[in-house]
Amino acid sequence: MQHRTSATKGESSGLVWSNYHLWLIIFLFLICVAVEYADFLGLTSRLPIDSSLSKSWYTAGRLLFLLTILHATFIFRLNGGLIALFSALLAMLPQAILFDQNKSGAVLEVVFVTLIGSAMCAWSGVRERERLRYRQLAANLAAIQEKLQDNVMEASLNARRLATINSISTALSRSLDPKKILDTAVGLLVEIMEIEIVLVYSCYEKAGKLVLMVADGIPAEAAQELDGIRVGEGFNGRVAETGEVMVVGYDSEGAQSAPDAIKGMGIQSQVIVPMKSKGRVIGTICVGMRNSRQFLPEEVDLLSTIAGQIASALENAYLYDGARRIADKLYKSERDYRSLFENAHDAIWFHNFDGVMLAANRATQKLTGYDVESLVGMNVLRFLSNNELQLARKVRQKLLAGETIEQPYEQKLMRKDGTIATVMLTSSLITFDGQPVGFQHIARDITDEMRMQDNLRFYLQQITQAQEEERKRIARELHDDTAQSLFAISRQIDNFMRSDSILNEQQLAFLQEMRQRIGDALQDVKRFSQDLRPPIIDDLGLLPAIQWLLKQIQDEHGVKSKLTVLGQERRFTPEVELILFRIVQEALSNAYRHARASKVEAVIEFAQSSICIMVSDNGKGFKVPDNFGDLSRSGKLGLLGMQERVSLLNGNIDVKSEPKKGTIVTVRASI
């Protein structure tokens, strides 16, 4: 570049020196100098110039300097004018300042020449800048015109390319069958790109292989050999792995490592592009020629674009096929669910937020007494009393708030004939697109079971009451009859021993032993009578009776006992207090008889509408079975009896125990 610049400068310099105007200007300049310094050169003595013409002579010389400056500026523009002006000043100033007789006039003439020359140079500079600006503008216009022509050509190419892409897109969008899509795409590729061979591979990610889907222009034997190549192997395998375009020629690096099938077909040129959908390689497209062909970048870009369209079309086809299969499964599932819904033994119905029933099965018809056609459109308020409506609203609020509720829960429904049905209800929220739209209910009719449970509870209550009455009668008879008889016999023996003085010591010892045995028997009868029905439960109530019971096992069995009372003590009906006492009595009996506990504790918590009793011990404990009913198999009949008594109070019992860790029995009842 520097060499070129130097050469250009040399050429310009040669052109300047060969310009005759330069020599003319130099000649004029020399004449001007000769005129300016005519006295020193002796010209005035040789020419007929008197003193009156001397002033005009120098003025004419300076005007000649001005003409020389103007000529230099016109020919060589600003630079030439400035050089001429500077040279003229150097020539005129010594004469005007030092030698001219009229120095002031000479200086004014020099100033005049300088101003006119400067103005001419300035005008030339302005013209030069305008000329440069016009040249730059012309160059810019030429560049813009050239760029515009390139853009027009590129737009024309893009238009043809877009038309090709649109035609392919239109053709591919006519079908959602993958085979038809590939056949159409291959035909268009062969026609548009004028190629001989097209191979389309699908990437099977799980097996890491490429499956040959289309093989156009090659024999069937070669297609079998090219099928199932591994990802990363061969040209197509590497393109599938990297996602990059590959152009392969006959003399390309790696062409000799091509499969034998490729070599046998005589393929000289190949282009392999990836088929990408959503950034993921789903296959490759390979186009080839049996003669040497240099694929242009535009052709490679077009092939890549077409590959992307084919990938999108195949992806849509696969998605459609998957959606169709899902729809078929959903249809089958919906049909099965409909059959299950219609034939279910449990009643199932749906209703919206207004309570209007949207659907119901035949079991709902049997439960309510209304036929299915009448149920659809009916409001669920018709089946609910005021109390049950409050429960339903609470469940609805919890479901909408996403709170957990204990299900199934008991609900009472009013039938068409006015009777009440008791059901165990499971409720759930129905959502659509993430928004709640209604409720689903599944109800199991337990009216007969509840009636049977009520009957069993009544029978159990009657049996328990009969047992307690029998216990009370036996305890009274033991106390009033047996105990009194034993006491009378003991008194008679005492009287006989005091009144008969002829008894020897052996006879007295025998009578004393008999009296002692009768006294022990009397104590056993009294204790047995109290165990059967302690009078304190009838006279003072539950809490004193439990206190007496704890003191009794501590005194008689040496078991440390403790009673804790929480809340405000209150009395219950005699039947309730007796049931609670029997439960505590059985729990304490198990503690010192079977668990061999050395310490027991009873905690009684009184609430406004319920009571909780907890009895704990430090005995040997046992493993609690998963099913409470299995206690009978392990001989825990006392716990079963406690459960039966709790059921009379509509309460529940909880037993926690582990071997060598004691037992905790908790009873809760709403009273």
The secondary structure of residue 316, as a DSSP letter, is H
Q: Could you tell me the CA-to-CA distances from 240 to 230, 236, 259, 274, 515 in Å, in that order?
A: 10, 6, 17, 6, 111
Q: pLDDT grade, residue 9 (50/70/90)?
A: very low
Same domain assignment for residues 501 and 543: no
Instruction: Output the six-digit token pair for 441.
Output: 């209910």
Instruction: Output the six-digit token pair for 462.
Output: 């009657």
Going by C-alpha positions, the residue among 26, 102, 116 that lies closest to residue 57 is: 102
| Residue at which a domain ends, from 134, 152, 182 | 134
In a domain, 152, yes or no: no
How far apart, in whole angstroms, are the C-alpha atoms of residue 46 and residue 23? 27
In a domain, 543, yes or no: yes
| CATH number of the domain that residue 210 is part of | 3.30.450.40
Same domain assignment for residues 95 and 229: no
Q: pLDDT grade, residue 4 (50/70/90)?
A: very low
Query: Are 430 and 401 within 8 A, CB to CB?
Result: no
Query: Are 595 and 620 within 8 A, CB to CB?
Result: yes
Tokens 């590729």 correspond to 189
Same domain assignment for residues 435 and 416: yes
Q: What is the pLDDT of residues 152-209, one digit of tens each?
A: 776 666 666 666 666 676 766 666 777 887 787 788 778 777 888 888 888 866 667 8
How far apart, in whole angstroms, are the C-alpha atoms of residue 656 and residue 654? 7
Q: pLDDT grade, residue 594 (50/70/90)?
A: confident
Same domain assignment for residues 368 and 497: no
Highest averaged pLDDT of the listed ranges 2-11, 31-40, 619-628, 647-656: 647-656
| Residue at which a domain ends, from 486, 517, 533 | 533
Same domain assignment for residues 411 and 503: no
pLDDT of residue 5: 45
Same domain assignment for residues 598 and 640: yes
How far apart, in whole angstroms, are the C-alpha atoms of residue 206 and residue 192? 34
The fraction of the chain above a pLDDT of 70, given in percent, is 80
How far apart, in whole angstroms, are the C-alpha atoms of residue 604 and residue 613? 5
Average pLDDT of 232-248? 86
Average pLDDT of 661-666? 91
Tokens 């009451």 correspond to 465
Highest averaged pLDDT of the listed ranges 13-22, 249-258, 484-493: 484-493
Same domain assignment for residues 471 and 431: no
pLDDT of residue 100: 65
Range of the domain at 54: 17-134
- Name the amino acid, one letter, at 162: L
Q: pLDDT grade, residue 253 (50/70/90)?
A: low
Same domain assignment for residues 525 and 552: no
Going by C-alpha positions, the residue among 74, 97, 93 that lies closest to residue 25 is: 74
How far apart, in whole angstroms, are the C-alpha atoms of residue 162 and residue 166? 6
pLDDT of residue 204: 64
Q: pLDDT grade, residue 267 (50/70/90)?
A: confident
pLDDT of residue 158: 60
In a domain, 613, yes or no: yes
Count of domains for the chain: 5
The secondary structure of residue 625, as a DSSP letter, is P
pLDDT of residue 615: 94
Same domain assignment for residues 392 and 459: no
pLDDT of residue 474: 76
Question: 350 φ, ψ to 5°?
Answer: -125, 145
pLDDT of residue 665: 92
Average pLDDT of 596-604? 91
The secondary structure of residue 72, as a DSSP letter, is H
pLDDT of residue 424: 87
Question: 39 φ, ψ to 5°?
Answer: -65, -45
pLDDT of residue 157: 60
If you compute the radius of gyration of the chain from its CA atoms, what whole number of angstroms results?
Answer: 61
Same domain assignment for residues 511 and 407: no
Instruction: Output the six-digit token pair for 337.
Output: 């669910």
What is the edge-to-edge ordering of all strands in the sheet holding 435-445? 357-360, 347-352, 435-445, 420-432, 409-414
Element (H, E) at 273: strand 269-277
Same domain assignment for residues 541 and 665: yes
Neighbours of 278 (CB within 10 A): 8
Question: 541 φ, ψ to 5°?
Answer: 105, -170
Same domain assignment for residues 425 and 474: no
pLDDT of residue 228: 83
Instruction: Output the six-digit token pair for 127.
Output: 């013209």
In a domain, 70, yes or no: yes
In a domain, 167, yes or no: no
How far apart, in whole angstroms, are the C-alpha atoms of residue 228 and residue 213? 10
Beta-strand relationship, 269-277 and 246-249: antiparallel
| CATH number of the domain that residue 394 is part of | 3.30.450.20
- Where do runs of H (alpha helix) occur along 503-541? 505-532, 535-539
224 vs 264 pLDDT, higher one: 224
pLDDT of residue 2: 45
pLDDT of residue 53: 47
Q: What is the pLDDT of residues 313-366, one digit of tens each?
A: 777 777 777 778 887 887 777 777 777 777 788 888 888 888 888 888 888 888
pLDDT of residue 8: 46
Tell me the sheet residues that pair with 613: 604, 667
pLDDT of 616 above 90: yes
Neighbours of 502 (CB within 10 A): 5
Q: What is the pLDDT of residues 82-100, one digit of tens each?
A: 787 787 777 777 776 766 6
| CATH number of the domain that residue 562 is part of | 3.30.565.10
Lowest-confidence pick of 46-60, 341-355, 616-630: 46-60
pLDDT of 118 above 90: no
Element (H, E) at 318: helix 297-343
Positive/negative CA dihedral, 171, 174, 178, 184: negative
pLDDT of 39 above 90: no
pLDDT of 656 above 80: yes
Question: 295 φ, ψ to 5°?
Answer: -75, 125
How far apart, in whole angstroms, are the C-alpha atoms of residue 24 and residue 68? 9
Q: What is the pLDDT of residues 461-490, one digit of tens each?
A: 677 666 666 766 776 676 667 767 777 787
In a domain, 339, yes or no: no
Positive/negative CA dihedral, 107, 108, 110, 115: positive
In a domain, 330, yes or no: no
Q: What is the pLDDT of residues 424-474, one digit of tens each?
A: 889 888 888 788 888 888 888 888 887 887 777 676 667 766 666 676 677
In a domain, 484, yes or no: yes
pLDDT of residue 155: 66
What is the edge-to-edge ordering of all strands in the sheet holding 209-216? 229-230, 209-216, 197-204, 280-289, 269-277, 246-249
Q: What is the pLDDT of residues 149-162, one digit of tens each?
A: 877 776 666 666 66
How far apart, in whole angstroms, are the C-alpha atoms of residue 136 and residue 129? 10
pLDDT of residue 308: 81
The secondary structure of residue 255, as a DSSP letter, is G
| Residue at which a domain ends, from 87, 103, 134 | 134
How far apart, in whole angstroms, are the C-alpha atoms of residue 32 and residue 318? 98
Instruction: Output the six-digit token pair for 475.
Output: 């305890």
138 vs 561 pLDDT, higher one: 561
Instruction: Output the six-digit token pair for 281.
Output: 């390689």
Q: pLDDT grade, residue 382 (50/70/90)?
A: confident
